[in-house]
């Protein structure tokens, strides 16, 4: 069972979140994920599109769309590309 103090803190947090979503209050911190450039990252690995797509477990068509600017990686794909860019040894060791 939750004690009154914890419940009050939780309630205050939800109210603050609601104000942030309504743009009435600024968040205490924000996070930015860089926009990765798939072609530049792939060139660091010196891999073909097929090889790099296989390494990331994505379709070659998806990779081509990213590289040609028709689509942009979003969410987890964006994070994965940034990890590949910053820590390539992680993917190489898979």
For 2-55, the pLDDT digits (tens) are 689 999 999 999 999 999 999 999 998 888 777 899 999 999 999 999 999 999
CATH of 38-92, one of 3.40.470.10, 3.30.70.2190, 1.10.260.40, 3.90.1300.10: 1.10.260.40
Report the half-sphere exposure of 60 (CA within 13 A, side-chain side).
5
Distance CA 27, CA 49 (A): 40
Q: What is the pLDDT of residue 50?
A: 97
Percent of the chain that is helix, strand, coil (3-state, to 5): 65, 0, 35
């Amino acid at each position: 069972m939750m004690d009154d103090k914890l419940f009050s803190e939780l309630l205050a947090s939800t109210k603050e979140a609601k104000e942030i979503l309504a743009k009435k209050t600024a968040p205490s911190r924000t996070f930015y994920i860089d926009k990765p450039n798939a072609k530049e990252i792939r060139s660091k690995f010196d891999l073909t599109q097929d090889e790099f797509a296989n390494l990331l477990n994505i379709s070659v068509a998806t990779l081509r769309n990213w590289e040609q600017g028709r689509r942009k990686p979003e969410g987890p794909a964006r994070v994965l590309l940034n990890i590949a860019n910053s820590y390539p040894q992680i993917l190489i060791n898979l």
